[in-house]
Structure 1
């Protein structure tokens, strides 16, 4: 009689294929299921994959199924996993275990001894050679953004910056209705739930608008290409008068 083996990690949920957005920068969207405010939610989230030489760095992890993992393995070797936001991280342990990858977290996020987590430090080298780290200094919850110095500047964000244009196939009807009423489906947006939890001050967004970038790949929503700086700057000005 065969015994079933229970995985210690959350299962893979529905997701799409890995797509190359820029040379050596990839993006994949999948489902998230969680309970918030005593209600079930199902919505989409994104993982960004950066190739640096032969190495792959995963940001905002989304667990892939076997077919997706095979596609990932054809791109290179996963060596690092980056957690930019306190509200993400569900699938980090799966990738750290599978690839014996290094785990990087924003300061203030409780590091995992089991994963050997280490803090992202603005003063120390990052696991991506041509990236810099932006840290929200006034936020109640830890949150960072990577600025990848490629193709005119690519921001890789978690929850603070979002670009949900409309619900996609990873939403359930109940979640879609709730989030429509909460203003989630707004281009170049500051994440509504993150904003409520983080209570950031305008000065963080002044510093963010001062960065040089053209594109944004966020933890939620579609890639925002070419016009990201102008669109997000307009949002910051509208919301924070900066």
Structure 2
């Protein structure tokens, strides 16, 4: 029996900024239920770092190997990690994550992510949601002013790779197109109403203009200004 999850439907790997690549993929979460899921790849010379890992199909995997050698796997969120082990084993890559994950807890980091951890990517820094009940981080790439998140902040501009039944369920859960703070994520990780407001205000101190999450698509330009509005509206209701 294969100990790794199989590769699911996905788009071709594309370059979204110089030496930064995006794969828009998917995950099957039950009968007739499929969601979108993304992986970001950062290239530094011949070394590659994978963020929010998604197992690639043979075509994309061949493209990945042509880009360079996978050296680092970065897990930013507790609810992701399904495909980390595949890349760790295949490439003998260094695994970066926070400690005490609830999901895929058997994966122990080689490098622990915390507020003082130096990122393996040049001119980048980790951001930690310190008030969250479950580990959640973001990664800010200064040169491209790109913020990489997992479930905390997402931008959707279509329903790509989402099955009809999943779309209905997501709509009922409050998901809409545009930039948003993940509602189910916020509910699960908040210790009490409004407890993450300070974290989001700290996140807004980073000088990002674009954003890409583990779901949805890339938002180019204006991401910080839009998130400021979202944060105010979200916690005004808390």
TM over 0.5: yes
Identify the match of residue 158 of structure 2 among 159, 162, 166.
166
- Residue 27 of structure 2 corresponds to 32
Query: How many equivalent pairs are there?
Result: 232
Distance in 2, matches of 1:150 and 1:218, equals 18
- Residue 185 of structure 1 corresponds to 176
- Residue 138 of structure 2 corresponds to 145
Q: What per-residue deviation string (whole Å, max 9, x for no partner) do you get for residues 148-201 of structure 1?
A: 1112x1101000011122311x11111111112222123110012211111142
Instruction: Report if the CA contact (8 A) 2:118-2:126 is conserved.
Output: no
Greater Cα shift, 17-26 or 114-123:
114-123
Distance in 1, matches of 2:157 and 2:175, equals 8
Identify the match of residue 101 of structure 1 among 59, 84, 93.
93
- Residue 80 of structure 1 corresponds to 72
Aligned-pair RMSD on alpha carbons?
Answer: 1.9
Distance in 1, matches of 2:165 and 2:90, equals 34
- Residue 53 of structure 1 corresponds to 45
Q: How far apart are 1:40 and its partner, in Å? A: 6.2
Q: How far apart are 1:122 and its partner, in Å? A: 2.6
Instruction: Report if the CA contact (8 A) 1:41-1:172 is conserved.
Output: yes
Instruction: Report if the CA contact (8 A) 2:21-2:42 is conserved.
Output: yes
| TM-score using structure 2 length | 0.91
Structure 2: which 5+ residue stretches go unaligned?
none
Q: How far apart are 1:124 and its partner, in Å? A: 3.0
- Residue 117 of structure 2 corresponds to 124
- Residue 197 of structure 1 corresponds to 188
- Residue 3 of structure 1 corresponds to none
Greater Cα shift, 107-116 or 173-182:
107-116
Identify the match of residue 212 of structure 1 among 207, 215, 218.
207
Instruction: Report if the CA contact (8 A) 1:30-1:62 is conserved.
Output: yes
